[in-house]
Chain A
Amino acid sequence: MSQVNANSIYDASGGQSAKLYGVSMRNGGTAYVNRIINGDMRIDQRNAGASITPIDGQYSVDRWRCGFTAASKFSAQQNAGAVTPPAGFTNYLGITSLSAYSVGVSDGFDVDQQIEGFNAADLGWGTASAQTVTLSFWVRSSLTGTFGGALMNSGYNRRYVFSYTINSANTWEQKTITVSGDTSGTWLTNNGVGIRVIMAFAAGTNNQASPGSWGSAFAIAPTGSVSVVGTSGATFYITGVQLEAGSVASPFERRDYGRELMMAQRYYYRVTNNATAYTTFAIGRAYSSTEGNATVYMPVPMRASPTIGKSAFGGTNWDYSISAINIVQVASDFRLITVYSAGSFTNGGAYALAAGNTTSTIFLDFSAEL
């Protein structure tokens, strides 16, 4: 029996089409290499490809959150600008600057993904056996120069600022960052925030730090990094984001769409009214003319009891003149909700919690984001 130790095996031309036959995978297999969900930006339940000028903390494509200190300086959109994605990808997350904003010393602009502690626990961060990870992604900007981001813990008091260079404007470039795991600090291993992956596109000097080492002072970007929001119309696009254990960036892990959607729905699930039919969101039982309950089943158990978001009441948007929907009872895989109507229920009868017209802005959503 012999053993081969190698970081990478390539085909004869140096490409990534080499095949291995008769191989038994290592313990744990190779499933779930990428700790990032929706790293290829395929899933956009909230916005369905529409552009948003986000409020702080608002999500663009699934699992990717926009953060900033000054409002209305950029828009975010799946496939913004309609450029051709890198080979093998169909989607990207695009940031577009809406003005020429002079970044203040305490400003910060980024998109991030918060990896649940359960999905990062095996990395052992915060212990002596912390594992090395590698972050890889495709990036494209209308600007060139130094860009970066950070890996950060839930308490915002451990962070690793990384740096990369965009060499050519308006050209997709793949970047790889290898980070030795943090042996200090508190890194959650439960359903809280495990690792925050921050992709910065502007930061004031108070939020910048020298890249390449762990520190405790808050920072999201490397010293001297480019400000995308400083140039009106400037763009910053990313896709193919992968965070994996080890010191080598493997090819982007291709997960089937259904699985990726279910992984995203652990954190957010939306039902939007059908544009040609009145969508029924749930079936319920009335306990009076004004009060009933209904059960909504989740596609997958969610991370925590979700917040239920509801489009505006009034007019004909909701059948039975429904005036409120609230939570009665929560469980891991369904939500029993109470529904109030303006006297349109029949006591003891069944009713449909349904849209009253075909307006596409009628929705229910369930959020258990980190």
Chain B
Amino acid sequence: MIYKQVKGFRGNAETCIEKIQEDGITFSIPFDPANTDYQEYLKWVEAGNTPLPADE
């Protein structure tokens, strides 16, 4: 499982982070403090991890 940044739509600010599973299933996680996947992502970052950069 990896996290990857996502470019915002039409040049706007990014609105989600992407989680990619080994089986190819992907998850767009919104920046909502009440979203448990986002809470997990923040813990992952707090642990010193960094997501992959967004595609150019």
Contacts and interface: CB of A to CB of B under 8 A. Distances in A.
Interface in A317-341: 324-330, 337-338
B28 A325 contact: yes
Contacts, number: 71
B10 A287 contact: yes
Interface in B5-56: 6, 8-10, 12, 15-16, 18-19, 23-30, 32, 34-38
Interface string A183-201: 0000000011000000000
Contacts of A308: 27-28
B9 A330 contact: no
A369 B35 CA distance: 8
Given A293-B9, A327-B16, A330-B30, A304 B35 contact: yes
Contact of A314 (B8, B24, B30, B37): B24
A16 interface: no
A303 interface: yes
Interface string A291-313: 10100000000011111111111
A192 B34 contact: yes
A310 B18 CA distance: 11
B25 A309 contact: yes
A175 B56 CA distance: 58
Given A287-B10, A291-B10, A338-B9, A330 B25 contact: no
Contact of A370 (B15, B27, B36): B36
Contacts of A307: 19, 27-30, 35, 37-38
Contacts of B37: 307, 367
Contacts of B12: 328
B24 A305 contact: no
Contacts of A293: 9
Contacts of B9: 291, 293, 326, 328, 338
Contact of B28 (A287, A311, A327): A327
Interface residues of A, number: 30
A328 B27 CA distance: 13
Contacts of B30: 305-307, 327, 330
Given A368-B35, A370-B36, A309 B15 contact: no
Contacts of B26: 309-310, 312-313, 324-325
Contacts of B29: 307
Interface string A327-370: 11110000001100000000000000000000000000001111
B32 A326 contact: no
Nearest to A337: B28
A61 to B, nearest CB: 19
Nearest to A330: B30
A327 B26 CA distance: 12
Contacts of A327: 15-16, 28, 30
Query: Which A-B residue pairs are the 4 nearest by beta carbons?
Result: A312-B24, A304-B34, A305-B32, A305-B30
8 contacts: A306-B35, A307-B27, A313-B26, A325-B28, A326-B9, A326-B16, A326-B28, A327-B16
